[in-house]
Amino acid sequence: MTTDHRPVSTKSPVQKAALVVGAVFLLVGVLGFIPGITSDYDTMKFAEHHSEAKLLGVFQVSILHNIVHLLFGVAGIAMARAASTARTYLLAGGAVYLLLWLYGLFIDHDSAANFVPVNTADNWLHFFLGIGMIALGALLTRTRTTR
């Protein structure tokens, strides 16, 4: 008879959430560089609104945009090692995405200010990502008090 000596996962829910969010960002960053998954790939620019490449044919991307996704992914995976840093990743990352949402709402999408670049679909995705990440960071670290 053999005994199983595999370590039991001791990751908290917030660590698991940060790990999943980070992995998704990493995947999206990679997919943004794959022709076919990204339509109009040949029009992709480094960082300007003239990049007409669209991830899944919907979300406007550029090389910079994809790099940001990759960095957010690496950060999420690295910060998932501890509950406190996982929480910080989700809360701060969510705040960044809400700021990107506001930025995308107020800039002229056909101007040089749209250097990331973003379109309307990106804007609303950023809104939901921001709210979702903040909700995960806050709700998964709530402490319960018992009487």
Render pLDDT for 64-79 as a digit per residue (tens, 0 to 9): 999 999 999 999 999 9
For residue 63, which of 38, 41, 45, 43 has the smallest C-alpha distance?
A: 45
Q: Is the pLDDT of residue 147 over 90?
A: no
CA dist 77 and 19 (Å) reads 5
* The pLDDT value given to residue 49: 74
pTM for this predicted structure: 0.86
| Apex 145 CA angle, 142 and 146, nearest 5 | 145
Looking at residue 98, its pLDDT comes to 97
Task: Using the predicted structure, report yes or no on whether residue 1 has a pLDDT greater than 60.
Answer: no
pLDDT tens digits for range 20-57:
999 999 999 999 999 999 999 999 989 877 788 999 99
pLDDT in tens, 93-123: 999 999 999 999 998 888 888 787 888 999 9
Residue with tokens 């999420």: 76
